[in-house]
Structure 1
């Protein structure tokens, strides 16, 4: 089956909007003592919370991810691959660039910590470099659950995301009324899992047979979101705002679930028109590079902010109008332009590293089953735990090097790689060497 350009476009579009959204709301201030702080725009200028309706686009990334995973797992299953073999290959595609990024950032944190960099500054930088990590453990968990979720999809179809949505609403009710934050962790998998599971349904034509289905999803989800914000306890912001309770993202709320449904419906409604546009090679040549570099863009997009902060704010060269003023908004255009130029340089500089990771990936990820899958699952569990920790506390909590999460990420990634490397080595041996002789 040929690749669906629209699915690739959705992933690229989601990543680009996430990058632009983070850059747009990032505000920097040079204090009289010379230190740099980052006031929270969404809290300081409340009307900007409405902007998050345009920039909270991650439902589409999970939708596209589900669509792609459905096709990948279906082909692997038909070819006789095991669930652990498929998962190991898919997980490495995420873990290799994430591991390199995290390793380099952690190395910088360690050097700065030894050099005596101010703890508050180090904590802020460590948070900025990990703020996007919430997505990674959730996506790894959904990938691990894909064989089971897809089996349920083949049997029950649209009942599965509907049931998951119903459970998510029950969980959110407990979070809001009983203040049970740990129960709310389930909604990270349930709410984003609805978008992921709808990707299965989309690929199999369950959402596109009749135009009424996506139209109902778009309209119904939008009305439900408006009602939950206007009449219920939920804020309009679809990005976390400090002190705002309940939040729509921490954990994903009923309002976020409504937004997922609305966004998926709208995505399906515009699909025919966008596909026609993507059929033009000139348009596709513009879209394809963003899709190919999506993981790099996602991981590294806050590095230009730190570079610009050092070059213009630490030196006092950057003008600093009042946060949220007309002059401040006027400077957003050159701000975004400068960050875009710096990120383009970062992406270009990382190409040799990406080529090396691609070679390593191919050598350690053959389409083979695993005889012993437990190291893979242990490694994935360690990675999910470590990445979740980084997402919550950053790379330098309290200005210190995070020894346990860093160790967990290194060991977890090594376990996954070792498992796949062993499978690759066994696959390359003659059959007589693959089966040990019995004495």
Structure 2
């Protein structure tokens, strides 16, 4: 029976692939929707963020903040492979190096192209980089977070093996304790405004939740893979929990939005707070509640094929979708399109948003075609490094390069960060050793 299984491996489970593809598409369209170009005499001079000009848009982030879903599914898919490697610490590090290299190489290409555009704009006097400067690199934070939690995936697998759902409960308790210590409530009545107190106190301790809360969907994904919870009923309970959780946390003073915000201040993301957990419960509950109908739909060949294509294009699309805002802004100007639609509530605002989304979707198409053509010509059989020092140095260079790019924006972050990413790509790659001549 085992030999037959080896000759005829089980077909790939498309449900996790579909979930990851959907999550990335939601993020892409959410980012485009949040970018508000500002025009003066028909020329783009600045951009606003939707959450800055319309506080009520924060409720939309309950849907578009799907990073927890991506972490949840990625952990579920990777858990079995990591579990097989637990007896060999070196192989675990090698596994992470291959993941880091797979993200570093396309990011090098992205920053190289962006850096070339920066230099070209200095020669030609291009106007579009300045209003979109930080928008072109800030989305790279997702790569940092993903690689950070994946580096701890072996620990999460061990925690699931030893404590099961108790590991999930422990993370929730630690995150709650961090927020309580951050809030420093003086009386039971202060618990009713816990969120206000938490986000009014910027403490170093609060950044512990940057690790704890992002580890939670990873721990949940492993538990789901192990069959520790499942079923439509459980999904509906988690959805209800998520709605109650979000309602309670926002009522206590946590911000409505689950993205953006002031670093260390009025933010549910920088650092993460208890409120962000409500989105996780909603998303995990939705995964369970719709699993049966989704699998029936994925059994259809055209749908499965579409998921395969989206899965292959997902990460390149995430890397390059912000870049497409540059040609979209140019085309919008040339066509005289209503991409500057004023403020929410004004006539034509949502029509302008639709036009902007269509322009971005139109212009990302040739960008993706060029990226795919380049990647197909690129050598794909690159092996990751196996030496511990090379992997650690490569990881440090990778994180440093992305952090610089995020902090400084396209100008000059893309050029400076490119050095770190290029070094990471080289360090994380296995380099054949020359053979010594015998005799």
Same fold (TM over 0.5): yes
RMSD over aligned Cα, in angstroms?
A: 2.9
1:65-85 Cα offsets, whole Å, 9 max, x none, are 111221332345589971122
Name the counterpart of 1:98: 107
Q: Which moved more, 1:27-36 or 1:158-167?
A: 27-36
Asked whether 1:239 is paired with 2:253, we answer no
> 2:421 is matched with which residue: 391, 394, 409?
409
Question: Do the aligned partners of 2:44 and 2:329 also contact (CA within 8 Å) in 1?
Answer: no
Q: 1:356 to 1:163 in 2, by over 3 A?
A: farther
Give me the whole-angstrom Cα distance separating, in 2, the residues matched to 1:255 and 1:389. Answer: 28
SS of residue paired to 1:29 = strand
Q: CA deviation at 1:331?
A: 3.1
Give me the whole-angstrom Cα distance separating, in 1, the residues matched to 2:332 and 2:42. Answer: 16
Give me the whole-angstrom Cα distance separating, in 2, the residues matched to 1:363 and 1:166. Answer: 42
Q: CA deviation at 1:40?
A: 2.3
Name the counterpart of 1:333: 354
Give me the whole-angstrom Cα distance separating, in 2, the residues matched to 1:303 and 1:344. Answer: 11
Q: How does 1:368-407 map to 2 (within 5 A)?
A: 370=386, 372-396=387-411, 400=412, 405-407=417-419
Q: How does 1:207-356 map to 2 (within 5 A)?
A: 207-208=229-230, 212-230=233-251, 232-241=252-261, 245-313=265-333, 315=334, 317-319=336-338, 320-324=340-344, 325-356=346-377
Asked whether 1:15 is paired with 2:24, we answer yes
Name the counterpart of 2:223: 201
Q: CA deviation at 1:130?
A: 1.0
Name the counterpart of 1:58: 67
SS of residue paired to 1:364 = coil
Name the counterpart of 1:364: 383
Q: CA deviation at 1:189?
A: 2.3
Name the counterpart of 1:145: 152
1:185-227 Cα offsets, whole Å, 9 max, x none, are 332222121111211111111122x655433322222211111
Q: CA deviation at 1:143?
A: 1.7
Question: Do the aligned partners of 1:59 and 1:195 also contact (CA within 8 Å) in 2?
Answer: yes
Q: 1:168 to 1:392 in 2, by over 3 A?
A: farther
SS of residue paired to 2:202 = coil
Name the counterpart of 2:177: 170
Q: CA deviation at 1:242?
A: 5.8
- Normalised by the length of structure 1, the TM-score is 0.85
Q: 1:308 to 1:80 in 2, by over 3 A?
A: closer
Structure 2 stretches of 5 or more lacking a match? 1-9, 183-197
Question: Do the aligned partners of 2:234 and 2:288 also contact (CA within 8 Å) in 1?
Answer: no
Give me the whole-angstrom Cα distance separating, in 2, the residues matched to 1:158 and 1:284. Answer: 32
Question: Do the aligned partners of 2:254 and 2:268 also contact (CA within 8 Å) in 1?
Answer: yes
Question: Do the aligned partners of 2:242 and 2:278 also contact (CA within 8 Å) in 1?
Answer: yes
Structure 1 stretches of 5 or more lacking a match? none
SS of residue paired to 1:234 = coil
Question: Do the aligned partners of 1:141 and 1:384 also contact (CA within 8 Å) in 2?
Answer: no
1:292-344 Cα offsets, whole Å, 9 max, x none, are 1001110111122211212223x472234433223121233333223222212
Q: CA deviation at 1:246?
A: 2.1
Q: 1:401 to 1:277 in 2, by over 3 A?
A: closer
Q: 1:71 to 1:174 in 2, by over 3 A?
A: same
Q: Which moved more, 1:401-410 or 1:55-64?
A: 401-410
Q: 1:12 to 1:33 in 2, by over 3 A?
A: closer
- Normalised by the length of structure 2, the TM-score is 0.85
1:40-81 Cα offsets, whole Å, 9 max, x none, are 222222322222222122211111111122133234558997
SS of residue paired to 1:247 = coil
Question: Do the aligned partners of 1:130 and 1:394 also contact (CA within 8 Å) in 2?
Answer: yes
Asked whether 1:4 is paired with 2:13, we answer yes
Equivalences, count: 413
Q: CA deviation at 1:9?
A: 0.5
1:80-101 Cα offsets, whole Å, 9 max, x none, are 9711221111221211111211
